Chain A
């Protein structure tokens, strides 16, 4: 039995470097095994193995929240203003457009939580996920005195990694003033989050 010791091992000898893979130890060893696309002289890292297992380099996950309370018009689908982030691992969430546009194609689990209120005796509060073509309404509530109700909608969706996006909207029916709560405390305000389940 022989032992082969090497810092890099290229898998594949195709003339197009992006058809080859390289597994390698980083220039400054840190206990990880890196996997890259490309030839051994210049691989582009796509993932690594460390003591906890495999970690993909690009694995979008985000959690955004509304830092301020706002008051949408009644009977109007209104995009919830998720203007702050707790984390955004691949910089795919835009806090100015409140939109998640993942750059890795695959299946994502998305959740939008609305903490809202409407000062009326009988009303309906909706929260939806909107992809530019239609509202996917995951939940609605018909209760008396919607005083700071919390509702969530979830979806498992495919994103193409370039143009597909998702946003969260709310809609209040009834009378009085509708309120979407966001006080800067992410665990109690309205939140919007998602994570890559399976890349394709």
Chain B
């Protein structure tokens, strides 16, 4: 399961628009360095950035 899938499982109200490169408030990134996807920016007005524990708990 990707980071994007974990986040949208935790917050079902999120849509692709929240991750849109030009207008979204959440930016996920992968630097192709073997460390995988990560949250680059989280500026959502109402939802808090999930903790690593929350993300790890998503099945």
Contact = CB atoms under 8 A, between A and B. Distances in A.
Interface of A: 72-81, 97-98, 124, 126, 128, 135, 137, 140, 169, 171, 173-174
A72 B40 CA distance: 16
B32 A79 contact: yes
10 contacts: A73-B28, A73-B37, A75-B16, A76-B28, A77-B28, A79-B30, A97-B33, A124-B20, A126-B21, A169-B29
Given A73-B37, A140-B21, 14 more contacts: A73-B2, A73-B30, A74-B2, A74-B4, A75-B28, A76-B28, A77-B27, A77-B29, A78-B30, A78-B32, A80-B32, A126-B21, A135-B21, A137-B22
Contacts, number: 52
Nearest to A128: B21
Query: Which are the 9 A-B pairs with shortest beta-carbon distances?
Result: A75-B19, A73-B2, A79-B32, A76-B28, A78-B30, A77-B29, A75-B4, A173-B16, A76-B37
Interface string B3-22: 11000000000001001111
Contacts of A75: 4, 16, 19, 28
Contacts of B2: 73-74, 76
A54 B29 CA distance: 43
The range of chain B's interface size is 10 to 19
B56 interface: no
Contacts of B29: 76-78, 169
B31 interface: yes
A137 B31 CA distance: 17
Interface in B24-43: 27-33, 37, 40
A76 B31 contact: no
